[in-house]
């Protein structure tokens, strides 16, 4: 399926015009050992092999299980992706569902890229995934933080503060010809989530 380059260009232009906010005041990086339940919503744009598109997402993290609802992204319609240590599953708007390797192949065919679904939950928080070698660098200008891991480079252009935690607001993950831009419009943390 061909992806829509016009949607990608429009979203990238919109993101390029936005100010570059940076969290101020006393903040701390999230600890995935204690921050295990959270949600985020926003927009994403993906470019792969010269094609691209954009859409909206709702991300729900419940301990080790990720539920990602993609709406109208990349010309593929609505999808729900569930990733956990037990495997990966994908369901479309018609209710058709596939698991594990078939799910990975389905996502790669629809999105044009094989994304690191288990690592993404950590990268969403601005952290390297555990158990794999990573190079992390913080800077005094955008990108404020970069993570290089598993052949991917994640550059964080903006952070926001939620419950005393510094959380990504805008970042780009790239590997070879694949580029994923994420803008988080809203974070939801559990009530009473400890700050620094």
Q: What pLDDT was estimated at residue 113?
A: 63
Judge whether residue 184 has pLDDT over 70: yes
Q: Report the pLDDT averaged over residues 2-25.
A: 40
Q: Please name the fold of domain 5-188.
A: outer membrane lipoprotein receptor (LolB), chain A (2.50.20)
Q: How many CA atoms lie within 13 A of 57 on its CB side?
A: 25
Backbone angles phi, psi at 166, to 5 degrees: -90, 115
At 192 the pLDDT is: 55
pLDDT in tens, 17-69: 443 444 444 468 888 878 889 999 999 888 877 777 788 999 999 998 999 88
Q: What are the C-alpha distances in Å from 133 to residues 63, 117, 125, 151?
A: 22, 17, 17, 10
Give the phi and the psi of residue 54 in degrees, each rounded to 5: -145, 165
The H or E element spanning position 7 is helix 5-17
pLDDT reported for residue 195 = 47
| Higher local confidence (pLDDT), 103 or 11 | 103
d(CA 161, CA 172): 19
List pLDDT tens digits, range 64-98: 899 988 886 555 577 788 888 888 888 877 777 76
Please tell me the distance from the alpha carbon of residue 135 to that of residue 151, in angstroms, as a whole number: 11
Hey, how many other C-beta atoms are within 10 angstroms of the C-beta on 13? 9
Measured over the CA atoms of residue 187, residue 109, residue 152 and residue 64, the dihedral's sign is positive
CA 170 and chain centroid, separation:
9
């Amino acid at each position: 399926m061909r992806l829509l380059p016009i949607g990608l260009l429009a979203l990238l232009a919109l993101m390029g015009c936005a100010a570059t906010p940076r969290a101020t005041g006393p903040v701390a990086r999230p600890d995935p050992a204690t921050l295990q339940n959270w949600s985020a919503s926003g927009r994403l744009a993906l470019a792969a092999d010269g094609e691209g598109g954009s859409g909206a997402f709702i991300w729900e993290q419940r301990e080790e299980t990720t539920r990602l609802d993609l709406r109208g992204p990349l010309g593929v319609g609505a999808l729900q992706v569930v990733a956990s240590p037990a495997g990966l599953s994908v369901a479309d708007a018609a209710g058709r569902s596939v698991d594990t390797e078939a799910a990975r192949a389905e996502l790669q065919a629809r999105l044009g890229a094989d994304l690191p679904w288990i690592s993404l939950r950590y990268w969403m928080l601005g952290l390297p995934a555990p158990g794999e070698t990573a190079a992390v660098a913080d800077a005094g200008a955008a990108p404020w933080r970069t993570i290089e891991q598993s052949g991917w480079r994640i550059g964080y252009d903006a952070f926001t503060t939620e419950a005393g935690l510094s959380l990504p607001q805008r970042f780009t993950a790239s590997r070879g010809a694949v580029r994923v831009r994420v803008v988080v419009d809203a974070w939801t943390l559990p009530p009473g989530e400890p700050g620094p």
